[in-house]
Structure 1
């Protein structure tokens, strides 16, 4: 096999892609269709709650197109971090979608399910054995954090996916996976260099985000040979450039020369980017260096309470000028009003957009220039009822707060919504971001093979 062609339809399953771009990719006769389906970017709620951050119908649309095309070409579809966070409920959620597609389209599918969620007892045992270490800059793991976790997943490498490919399946649904693995595993299995395979996967997992102009909802093709790979966006409006590809190589990484992943490092010190025409870039020189210990990243989330928010705005220049002192006073009012409630039972936050709502205390611009401010009052408490109470009091206190120079005697705030207080429910926090040393990267991620489909209701 001289080369392997990988079609990446979209940056995240459910983000969509133009059919024209996808069909253009099919004309290249790809060897696999692969897609990343998850991320920690949307925050800990989705891991902790077991819900997907992507819409079910949107995911179903993307998968239906991909699976039907793959069946016609007799190639596999690989999905990494199924369901958005890659836990057991996320994997089951994605499996159910595939089952529906198979039945609706009359397709007989062999599906591989790779679990990436760990039982707490197993993690506790590994903790006691000293096999878990912190991933900088977090602190060493505490046993109580393991016990309080709602869900713990580990990022699988290429090995469990290669095992699934050995079973000649139609679809692979992997739980939490290192982003490049579903793109790289078939290439490594076919004998291509691991460093180039993983580096190409690193680019393809975000599809056309690495193009110019970039898009997370468009297709990219990767063609890997023994000593290089070529990237080509499948929308003629886009192009890959040396800069766009090199920049995306550094995406979400702190070290420009090393990309850390399960079992080793992609070494980029000798990597070269070459423009081969006005739309395609060739990449050479990336190497994979194995670590002495095989480690995987653990991700855990725990529930910390319930949230209620109130969204408001102000355009009064007198209030805007005093906003910091007003917020401080309102917080003190809440503290005094709820003196009978333990301080650790609730948290109260203000996010002021137009001042420092994005960066908070890290905002370098101290001079306030906005003519209006957007204010989010956020209460987190042990119960939804307490969060409602804290938010309600704080909102009303700020609404009628009598600051110096106030002219109006009515409300200080404008509310875009009624009701003004919005109950958002459970709140989760990432509490595990550590490395687990494992002896066998295949056995750590159990594989299940199922047969689905065959019906067609017309």
Structure 2
């Protein structure tokens, strides 16, 4: 038994070299092509605001190449987490692009649409049954969260995608989906051992990222044998090594040897990586342990409207005792904004600070100590019930910190350098993820339907 497939790029719309892709398609006897289209890198706003991740033009360019080549060879094309977030709006956005391409290329084919927004009554029922399980860290939720949150998606496993393929879909457009589940769907259908199918999928969903140096986005080829799989970059300019493939288990996971997916856990503790050629790698020993079937939930809720200011400090007198000075400056800013706008309005707002050059990335989780006497950047933002209030709050706060007294100096001082003018930036609606939970399903299709379209 041999099964092979191609993942053209780590994320649809990222761009890939047509000549390399077309050459790989022409030279290989592939069973399917699959591409992930989703990411939470942009936070909750893409899901909450009904936005796409990459530009429409970039996505259409990639999809045109993919549809043209897969239809030429009559093999399925699978697209997961359509439109970036995989909500119903994002899925319909992708469907419109596919219709345009079919018309322009004069192609006829069958499309399957698989929405990933579960029925709210189902969510509430699962909550009452104790089948919505918090993940760490998870916010507190109740039934109102499940009914009122603007968008909630459930990250589907491979089974709804398998159903679409088995019922004759040429192009499968899936809402929010497990990245690995998308890639593993057809190999599992064709009898590939689950451990191998899931492990390969975890690597392949990122396209050609598991090469020694990914200087530009390209694709990856995967071929399964009875007890192993071989990975090879699509680009002749790139190379895989056992180290580059093995290290991919560290990407986007908290545990490199145990990775939970719908229906079970990938176990990578006994995996062997060996060079299959000077640029390809053979992987064996991957296992998959069945478990109760769960899917991850993501929900985006509006928190308000955000305004922000970015400023830099290079005054050595401040930086020598920055922590104490900044604590006093924040207290002074809070006092000033409350005096200017009143407690009632300010209490409706959330103000946050990130100090770049100290602990902006990890915040309270940072374990290292920093001494920085050269330069620090401060990102200040306010979230309020409306944009005008957010702008007023952040303008008052930043102005106070700009001129806050420095013990080593006398008279009026200016502490912040602003990279742009005006330095107050209105960022619009602010969404956050209000769900970090898994939902246990009675069967893999419980939350999903498949709709077919003929083009």
TM-score scaled to structure 2, two decimals? Answer: 0.93
* Post-superposition CA distance 1:60-103 (Å, at most 9, x none): 11111111111111111110111111110111111111112112
Give the structure 2 partner of residue 304 of structure 1.
303
Mapped to 2, the partners of 1:229 and 1:366 lie a distance apart of 44
Q: How does 1:249-260 map to 2 (within 5 A)?
A: 249-260=249-260
Structure 1, unaligned runs of 5 or more: 453-458
The number of residue pairs the alignment matches comes to 450
Give the structure 1 partner of residue 145 of structure 2.
145
Mapped to 1, the partners of 2:322 and 2:89 lie a distance apart of 44
Is 1:18 matched with 2:21? no
Give the structure 1 partner of residue 98 of structure 2.
98
Q: Residues 269 and 355 from structure 1, CA distance in 2 versus in 1: closer, same or farther, beyond 3 angstroms?
A: closer
Give 1:48 deviation, angstroms: 1.9
Give 1:446 deviation, angstroms: 0.8
Is 1:450 matched with 2:449? no
Is 1:382 matched with 2:381? no
Mapped to 2, the partners of 1:107 and 1:122 lie a distance apart of 38
Mapped to 1, the partners of 2:449 and 2:413 lie a distance apart of 63
Give the structure 1 partner of residue 348 of structure 2.
345
Is 1:320 matched with 2:319? yes
Structure 2, unaligned runs of 5 or more: none
Is 1:427 matched with 2:430? yes
| Contact kept? 2:208, 2:219, Cα under 8 Å | yes
Give the structure 2 partner of residue 115 of structure 1.
115
Give the structure 2 partner of residue 129 of structure 1.
129
| Contact kept? 1:331, 1:348, Cα under 8 Å | no
Give the structure 1 partner of residue 69 of structure 2.
69
Q: How does 1:332-371 map to 2 (within 5 A)?
A: 332-336=331-335, 337-338=337-338, 339-341=342-344, 344-371=347-374
Give the structure 1 partner of residue 395 of structure 2.
392
Mapped to 2, the partners of 1:6 and 1:431 lie a distance apart of 36
Mapped to 2, the partners of 1:100 and 1:407 lie a distance apart of 67
Equivalent position SS for 2:374: coil
Give the structure 2 partner of residue 189 of structure 1.
189
* Post-superposition CA distance 1:205-233 (Å, at most 9, x none): 01111111135711110011222110001
> Which deviates more, 40-49 or 403-412?
403-412
Give 1:193 deviation, angstroms: 1.8
Aligned Cα root-mean-square deviation (Å): 2.0
Give 1:342 deviation, angstroms: 5.7
Give the structure 1 partner of residue 247 of structure 2.
247
Is 1:162 matched with 2:162? yes
Give the structure 2 partner of residue 436 of structure 1.
439
Give the structure 1 partner of residue 283 of structure 2.
283
Give the structure 2 partner of residue 212 of structure 1.
212
Equivalent position SS for 1:305: strand
TM-score scaled to structure 1, two decimals? Answer: 0.93
Give the structure 1 partner of residue 420 of structure 2.
417
Equivalent position SS for 1:341: helix
| Contact kept? 2:308, 2:379, Cα under 8 Å | yes
| Contact kept? 1:159, 1:441, Cα under 8 Å | yes
> Which deviates more, 68-77 or 184-193?
184-193
Give the structure 2 partner of residue 372 of structure 1.
375
> Which deviates more, 376-385 or 19-28?
19-28
Mapped to 2, the partners of 1:356 and 1:142 lie a distance apart of 33
Mapped to 2, the partners of 1:183 and 1:145 lie a distance apart of 32
| Contact kept? 1:81, 1:174, Cα under 8 Å | yes
Give 1:343 deviation, angstroms: 5.7
Equivalent position SS for 1:29: coil
